[in-house]
Structure 1
Amino acid sequence: MKQIEEKYLAIDIGGSHIKSTILNIEGKMEIDYQKIATPKNATPEDVVNSIETLIKEFPHYDKISVGFPGFIKNGVVKTAPNLNNEAFKNFNLSQAIASKFKKPVRLVNDADMQGLGVISRVGLEMVITLGTGFGTALFMDGKLLPHLELAHLPIKKGDYDDFIGDKALDQDGIDVWNEKVKSVLETFSTVINYDSLFLGGGNAKKINFTLNDNIKLVGNRDGIKGGIFLWKEEDGYCVRTVNPI
C-alpha cells in the first residue's frame, strides 16, 4: 500500500501581514502563497482569527509550522514588539493554534524559520529580516543557534527596531535609511564575523547599495519553506511539539 505523504501548513506571522502555504515533505509549495493583513496592535485572538480566515479554503494538512515576530521559549511568546506586546506576554500561542486547528504545532521566531529555508548549511550563517522591525537568526553548519533578540540591543536613542524598522524608513526616507542599514551590516559583520548573510523581509528589496559577495537577498516565499525543516530532526533542529488539547 502506498504511504500517504504528510502535508505541512507553514505560517509566517509578520507585523504587517500573515502569510501561509501548504508544503510537501520536500518543502515545495502545494498551493499558491497567500497572505492577509495583520490587524493593527494585534492580540493573540486577532492573530488566530486571521489565520482561520486566511486558511479557510486550504486543502488538508497534517502538521503546522509557525514563525512569529518575537522571542519564543518552548512555544510560549515572551515578547511581541510589533504586535500587542502586553497581550502576548507569556501567551502559549503554539497551544492556542494547536487546539484551534486540531493539529500538532511547532512554533519559533520568524527569522529562525526563514533561515532554515534559505541557508546553505555551511559555516557560520546569519539571517537578517528587514520589515516592520529587525529580525536575526544564527546557524552553524545548518544547526540553529540559541535565539538572540539582537533587535533590542540599544543604539543611539532606541534599539535596532527603532533604528531601521518601518517607522525609521518612513521618517528618514530611502537614502538615509539605506545608509543606516549599510552601517548595521558593517557592525554585524565585525561582531558576528559570519561566513554568509541572508537578507529577507519586505524592506530588503529597498536596499540600493552594492552588497558584499557573501550577502544574498532572499524572499518571503523562500523563507516560508523553512517550515518543513522544523519537522526534520536530521537538520539539527529540535523544537517542542505542542499537540491539541
Structure 2
Amino acid sequence: MAAVTATIEAAAAHDLRIGIDIGGTWIKGALIDLASGTPAGAVRRLQTPAGGNVGAVADTMDRLVAELEVECLGAAGRPVGVAIPSIVKRGIAHSAANMDGSWIGLDVQSYLKSRLGRPVRVVNDADAAGMAEALYGAGTARKGVVLVLTLGTGIGSALIVDGRLVPNFELGHLEVDGFKAESRASAVVRENEGLGWVEYAGRLQRYLAHVEFLFSPDLIIIGGGISACSQEYLPRLSLRTPVIPASLENSAGVVGAALQASAAWN
C-alpha cells in the first residue's frame, strides 16, 4: 500500500509520462519521472511478436500499457512516447529495421493514438536513447559532437551537436569491409555467432574507427543491451575519441520515449 501511495504522490508532484521502447526482441515500458529521468515504477517488458507485424506489436503495447496502469496508478491516462526502430518523419515510419515491412509508410503516430486511446508521440529508437543520455546520462552538459550508439538486435545511432539532436542519423547501415556494420558488430550477432569478447572487440574496433574517421566525434557513448558488459570490450578498444558506457544502460530508449511524449526536447 505504501508503494502505491508513493506512486500517487509522485504523479501529483512530477511530470510523468509513459515511455515504450520497441525492439526486435523485447518491447519495454515504464512510467518515467521527467524531473529526474528515472522510472517511477518497474521497467516492464514483453516479447516482441515474431515478425514484428504492426497489429501484433500494437496489441502487445496495449497489454504493456494496461500492466503499467495496474502497477502504477499514476500512469492512468498518461501520454505515451514510443521509440521505434524506424526512420521517423512527422510520425510516419520510413524504414523498418528488424521489423515487418508493414511499418514502412504508416503514420505510426496516428495509428497508435487510435489503438491506445491516448496522446502518442513517436521517435526513432536510437534518437530516443541519445536524447535520454544527453539530458540525464553520460552526455549531460557535454559540448561538441556526441555520438550515442546502441548495440542490440542491430546498431542504432544518435548524433548530438552542442546539445541538439540531428534526427534519423543511421550509422548501423554503414558498409565496413563489404558488410553492413550491424550484421557484423551488433550485440545479437555476437551472441548468434558465439564470439568471444576479444574477437567481438576487434569487430567493434573496426566499425568505430571507421565512424571516428568519418565524423570526428568528441565523445562516443555505447548503450543498448550490451552496455552492462562494457568492461569486457571497452578496455580492448583503441581510438582517439573517448568511448564510455551509457549510464542509463538499457533503459535509455524508454526514458527518451517518455521525454518525446512531453515534447520537452526542442
Asked if Structure 1 and Structure 2 have the same fold, meaning a TM-score greater than 0.5 normalized by the shorter chain, the answer is: yes
Percent identity reads 24
Question: Is the Cα contact below 8 Å between 1:169 and 1:177 reproduced in 2?
Answer: no
Change in CA separation of 1:51 and 1:235 when aligned onto 2, cut-off 3 Å: closer
Residue 135 (1) aligns with residue 156 (2)? yes
For residues 233 and 9 of structure 1, what CA distance do their matches in structure 2 show?
13
Partner of 1:171: 193
Partner of 1:215: 243
For residues 132 and 167 of structure 2, what CA distance do their matches in structure 1 show?
17
Runs of 5+ unmatched residues, structure 1: 237-245
Partner of 1:43: 53
| 2:106 alignment partner, SS class | coil
Deviations 1:136-161 (A, max 9, x none): 01011221113222222223343112
Comparing 182-191 and 105-114, the one that deviates more: 182-191
For residues 68 and 189 of structure 1, what CA distance do their matches in structure 2 show?
26
Partner of 2:68: 58
Residue 201 (1) aligns with residue 211 (2)? no
For residues 117 and 33 of structure 1, what CA distance do their matches in structure 2 show?
15
- 1:82-161 to structure 2, matched below 5 A, reads 82-84=98-100, 86-119=101-134, 120-121=140-141, 122-161=143-182
Deviations 1:174-230 (A, max 9, x none): 232221012212221222111111111112344523156722212122442223432
Which of 23, 28, 31 matches 1:14? 23
- 1:72-83 to structure 2, matched below 5 A, reads 72-83=88-99
Change in CA separation of 1:205 and 1:234 when aligned onto 2, cut-off 3 Å: closer
Comparing 45-54 and 225-234, the one that deviates more: 225-234
For residues 186 and 108 of structure 1, what CA distance do their matches in structure 2 show?
28
Runs of 5+ unmatched residues, structure 2: 1-10, 70-75, 135-139
For residues 108 and 220 of structure 2, what CA distance do their matches in structure 1 show?
29
Question: Is the Cα contact below 8 Å between 2:80 and 2:119 reproduced in 1?
Answer: yes
Question: Is the Cα contact below 8 Å between 1:19 and 1:33 reproduced in 2?
Answer: yes
Bigger helix fraction: 2
Q: Give the aligned residue type for 2:56.
A: D
Change in CA separation of 1:133 and 1:14 when aligned onto 2, cut-off 3 Å: same
Q: Give the aligned residue type for 1:33.
A: V
For residues 14 and 71 of structure 1, what CA distance do their matches in structure 2 show?
14
| Structure 1 residue 7, shift from structure 2 partner | 2.7
Residue 190 (1) aligns with residue 213 (2)? yes
Comparing 181-190 and 123-132, the one that deviates more: 181-190
> How many residues are matched?
233
| Structure 1 residue 24, shift from structure 2 partner | 2.6
Partner of 1:24: 33
| Structure 1 residue 233, shift from structure 2 partner | 5.6
Deviations 1:2-35 (A, max 9, x none): x955431100111110100011341331111101
- If the length of structure 2 is used for normalisation, what is the TM-score? 0.79
| Structure 1 residue 170, shift from structure 2 partner | 1.9
For residues 168 and 25 of structure 1, what CA distance do their matches in structure 2 show?
34
